Amino acid sequence: MKVMNKTKMLLVASFATFFTATSIAAEVNVYSARKEALIKPILDDFTEQTGIKVNLITGNADALISRIKSEGQFSPADVLVSTDVGRLVRAKQMGITQANDDDIVKSSVPAYLRDEDEHWTALTLRARPIMYAKDRVVPETLSTMQGLTNEEWKGRICIRSSNNIYNQSMISGMIQTQGDAKTLAWAEGLVENFARSPKGGDRDQIKAVVAGECDIAIANTYYLAGMLNSEDADTRKVAEQVAVFWPDQAGAGAHVNISGISIAKHATNTAEAKKLVQFMLSDQAQSWYADTNHEYPIKEGIEWSDTLKEMGEFKAQEVSLTKVGETNAKALMLMDRAGWR
């Protein structure tokens, strides 16, 4: 029997210590379409409270989904955080997510805001109402989304391109509530009333209203809220000239979408990923999103930010977001037929 020399014994001991520490170091790899400033603070809180290190990669939502797909079984992604149900459904259809059968998710999130197969769940709600110029539009002249096709709004409406997934999901939601034919007729009427060819993001539509290029915009409320709370005085001044109108309150309600989360199919830190999902649905995380990012919490009893409160309470459309995501392609084809570019 050979006796191991002292140097070799020390080397073995040091390697054993290293691999033991590595094996027990808890971490989770997050691919996020949310900008770092809009998610890292709450992830830091998660790490502080659980000891689980978060490795964060941010990027374009569609690019991240494609990246996970191309990485295949070797993808380091444990969690995908994305915006709009259309992308979350697409990720599921591409086979890059897995079911997360978690009682906390089921008890925290209404059924219409999560995947029926448990592949994704909403984290926040994002409303897409009508926004109008305070000095040029009398709110009593507004009522429904259908009303925006009336002659009085000809040449007065700004909205993003049909390539924008927020608009695609809005149209898909209409398909669920009123069918293909009525939705096509609405889209055709809306296109007739465009003030300009669609261009830019939601903030650009709001700025166009204030600049007088149009009188009405369709945009997500958190963009307006972000402008109202901007550190830039000129940005705040622009936003203060626009008000929110909630359409279809006597009918289907205003369109809402989500930011959401999925566990990656080839996640190696599944237990940690599930803990992160649970944390993101906690009252603490929900309150942070509502107060800091001005998005609507999915849980009852969580207080909205003062800015959201000032925009008023509203009835939200409660169609199945799974179906909204699944009919995304149909919605885009319908928009193309209507001449929406």
Residues annotated as binding site for Fe cation? 222-223
Residues annotated in a binding site: 222-223
Check: CB of residue 282 under 8 Å from CB of residue 107.
no
Q: How many residues does the chain have?
A: 341
Q: Is the dihedral of CA 93, 95, 96, 100 positive or negative?
A: positive
State the CB neighbour count (10 A cutoff) for residue 249.
Answer: 15
256-264 vs 216-218, strand pairing mode: unpaired
* Tokens, residue 295: 């998005």
| Separation of alpha carbons 129 and 281, rounded Å | 25
Check: CB of residue 156 under 8 Å from CB of residue 214.
yes
| Separation of alpha carbons 159 and 167, rounded Å | 9
